[in-house]
Amino acid sequence: MAIATLFAKEGAKVCISGRRQEIIEKAVVELRQSGADAMGVNCDVSEIEQVNGMVEKTIAQFGKLDILVNNAGVYIGHDAVSATEEEWDKVVSIDLKGVWLCSKTVLPHMITQGKGKIINVASIAGLVGFAGSAFYCAAKGAVINLTREMALDYALKNININVIAPGVIDTDMTKPFLEDEQAKKGFLATTPLGKIGKPEDIGWGAVYLASDESDFVTGHTLVIDGGWVAK
């Protein structure tokens, strides 16, 4: 929501999508109350038909699609032995396949209009190992390298494709960990800045990568983690 809110403040027309209709509707109401031109589409990014529908509805509403932010993700924590095939499929389908399907569907429109920005949201778990997070690390690492590859393929089409690697950010996904005082102390001790990141920290990074100021940036991994991977 922070990314959409900051984009709207910068004047963007925003389409929010996700699997939970009630959350989408609430977010759209909040954006519209702030004066934003916003819409919502229910979509499972692991299903190509739903992704096609989301893109078609967005273009029908706004006339074009300049920026894609791939921010859908789930986390299931297991090591490689304890993980089940079903859990692997769920994480990889949403965290990795979803990035590919959304990009695959949007790219032809961006090529036709002669420009575009794609911003993928991965994790520092795609850069370093996190114990007990085998397939989350695998999926996020793949997103980072998929970003690099797509950036090369579409650079001459004037399409910038970059990825953000967040550290520990205060979100619904991290809430169970941050409510555990011992786990929170561990995160704080491992983060050189000594604090937990805010969703807006990632939002401002996305705003930069979507802006004209980043026109000479592509294939880049923007790490926003309070210094975690600098150690």
**pLDDT tens, the chain, 231 aa long:** 789 999 999 999 999 998 888 889 888 999 999 889 999 999 999 999 999 999 999 999 999 999 999 999 989 888 999 889 999 999 999 999 999 999 999 999 999 999 999 999 999 999 999 898 999 999 999 999 999 999 999 999 999 999 999 999 998 888 888 888 888 888 899 999 999 999 999 999 999 999 999 999 999 999 999 999 998
Sign of CA dihedral 126, 128, 134, 136: negative
- One of 1.20.120.420, 3.40.50.720, 3.20.80.10, 1.10.760.10 is the CATH number of 2-230, namely 3.40.50.720
Radius of gyration of the chain (CA): 17
Sheet strands (E) in 96-226: 116-121, 159-166, 221-224
Active site (annotated) includes residue 75: no
Pick the catalytic residue: 75, 136, 154, 208? 136
Residues near 223 by Cβ (< 8 Å), separated by ≥ 6? 124, 127, 164, 165, 167, 229
- pLDDT value of residue 175: 81
Query: What residue ranges do the domains of the chain occupy?
Result: 2-230
Residue range 101-134, pLDDT digits in tens: 999 999 999 999 999 999 999 999 999 998 989 9
Instruction: State pLDDT tens for residues 137-149.
Output: 999 999 999 999 9
